[in-house]
A and B are shown apart, each in its own frame.
Chain A
């Protein structure tokens, strides 16, 4: 078993290196910043508990994303009834934004995030990982499925995303 200080150091390093990616993943499964922060806390806690048992069977990134993904799905299942009542966040254009003008990267990112949030969960799972630069094998390892299944999900997810983004233009 790893010593506690070495474990803490590994944990801090892992979260620092992957913090932004985890925040984006959590954001795509939640509706508000405070929900995202709650989910991030859950992910951090689960990662801390699981790190003791990590034996290097996969890359640290895959290991962390698998935990994050599992926590996100559990979070989604818990809040599903709430989702059904409130529906997905309404996509309101930013005030003062001229549709003719070129949108900034932050606005494009926001539009993309909203479009990803509207995807059905199986496609959302695959595309959020692909957007974080995970390859097919890594995504398959995180989701516990085959690479061909990942390929099919990504193809469909991208088509739906494209259509969704086109609609919003």
Chain B
């Protein structure tokens, strides 16, 4: 064995020890737990929303309610498909070293940023569909704009909820972007 090869072998062996910083490992474990909780949340939404609208359709036997149930299931399927795709391959690090943990954290950050965009899009679609559906069932409906902004407290709550949801998404997006910048910088310096 040449002298340099010997040193390189020692370096490889040496750097195997204490390979992953504790805070990084804990952060990845925390994210994994959050992802599991997210799946539980999705199951709950599926049961409550999907099951609720299906039950309503069966009990009322009205075509409009069936349309609402179908749309709800459509949204649920799209959300599940996105959720499964965005989490695929991001459940655990590919190796037990710093690089793999960092790569996973970066990949998860990017996935969360994509989720923010998807959630915003899905929320807009759901809101538009929901409002149109409700408007069609208003007896003697006023003009759309007046109905949307000045008709009732429940509709005002919809706007309030939309505003709060937007603020939450913007805050979360900013947080994840800052986390991503930080992780990319750490990875660059670790190389």
| Chain A residues near B (Cβ < 8 Å) | 9, 12-13, 15-17, 19-21, 23-24, 27, 60, 105-106, 108-110, 112-113, 116, 130-133, 158, 161-162
Q: How far is the CA of A20 from the CA of B17 in the complex (A)?
A: 8
Number of interface residues of B (CB under 8 A): 24
B190 in contact (CB, < 8 A): yes
Q: Which of A9, A23, A27, A131 contacts B10 (CB 8 A)?
A: A131
Please give me the residue from chain B that is nearest to A106 by CB atom.
B16
Please name 15 further chain A to chain B contacts, defined as beta carbons within 8 Å, in addition to the given A16-B24, A106-B16, sorted by A numbering.
Answer: A13-B186, A15-B21, A16-B21, A19-B23, A20-B15, A20-B19, A23-B17, A24-B14, A24-B15, A27-B17, A109-B13, A109-B16, A131-B14, A132-B14, A133-B11
Measured between C-beta atoms, what is the minimum distance from A38 to chain B in Å? Answer: 14
Question: SS class of chain B's interface: helix, strand, loop or mixed?
Answer: helix
B17:A109 contact, CB within 8 angstroms:
yes
Q: How far is the CA of A105 from the CA of B124 in the complex (A)?
A: 53
A17:B186 contact, CB within 8 angstroms:
yes
Our count of residue pairs bridging A and B at CB distance below 8 angstroms stands at 67
| B186 neighbours in A (Cβ, 8 Å) | 13, 16-17
A13:B189 contact, CB within 8 angstroms:
yes
* Known A-B contacts A16-B186, A17-B186, A158-B3; A109 and B21 likewise in contact (beta carbons under 8 Å): no
Q: How far is the CA of A21 from the CA of B189 in the complex (A)?
A: 13
A113:B189 contact, CB within 8 angstroms:
no
Q: How far is the CA of A131 from the CA of B11 in the complex (A)?
A: 5
Measured between C-beta atoms, what is the minimum distance from B136 to chain A in Å? Answer: 52
Query: 11 interchain pairs (CB within 8 A)?
Result: A9-B182, A16-B186, A20-B18, A23-B17, A27-B17, A27-B18, A105-B16, A113-B14, A130-B7, A131-B10, A158-B7
